[in-house]
Amino acid sequence: MIISVHQPQYIPWLGYFHKIYHSDAFVFLDNVQYKKREYQNRNRIRTKDGSMWLTVPVVTENAYPNIADVRIDNSQEWMRRHWKALSVNYARSAHFKDYGDFFEAVYAKEWERLIDLNIYLIKHINSFFGIDKDIYSESHLGIKTTNTRRIIDICKAMKADTYLSGLGGKGYLEEDLFVANGIKLVYQDFRHPEYVQGYEPFVPFMSAIDLLFNKGKDSLAVLTKPI
């Protein structure tokens, strides 16, 4: 059984969904520290000028709260701005009309916790892509350890024999611990696909919704096509 894990991010990039697709099960790391200036509350979309950030404003009473405790700052009109950005930049995309109503409804709701918004969007983008995998949350597994030991314990709790890591894991994972615990460590081989965007030239590393709005039901074939 192959598992992968990741913090819940805001409308993540394609590599995030590529990793889920190549796993038998995926675990949200919902019991970790929130990190500022990363992708837990922001991501980029394609525009005629290149790209722009969509950032969900958050209230951080402590310097680094647990990601599950991060509250959205709804005193700012971020929902209106995000929906306007999507509708302006993707209105002419081939499949915006197929998914626009869903995103309009998302931005019409007042979300309280960042993690609830992120997980809701990730699960639905999975569904739109046609990715059907078992999804779990670390907090429900009773994991108390940290760092590489946390990953090992998640694998054991899930009865997984293989852990699929992003390439960034090479910089911090203790590979010998996987060997000692009989768990195979595999690094993700993701090569960003190119497809027709609303503007030229092609700009990679956008939110996965860029592919969704442009390719619709063909998105998974693009995401998984060998390069």
Each of the 227 residues of the chain gets a pLDDT tens digit; together they read 999 999 999 999 999 999 999 999 999 999 999 988 899 999 999 999 999 999 999 997 666 688 999 999 999 999 999 999 999 999 999 999 999 999 999 999 999 999 999 999 999 999 999 999 999 999 999 999 999 999 999 999 999 999 999 999 999 999 999 999 999 999 999 999 999 999 999 999 999 999 999 999 999 999 998 86
Q: Show me where the domains of the chain are located.
A: 2-224
| C-alpha span between 201 and 86 (Å, rounded) | 19
Closest CA to 182 of 159, 163, 161, 208: 161
pTM to 2 decimal places = 0.96
Closest CA to 216 of 95, 45, 55: 95
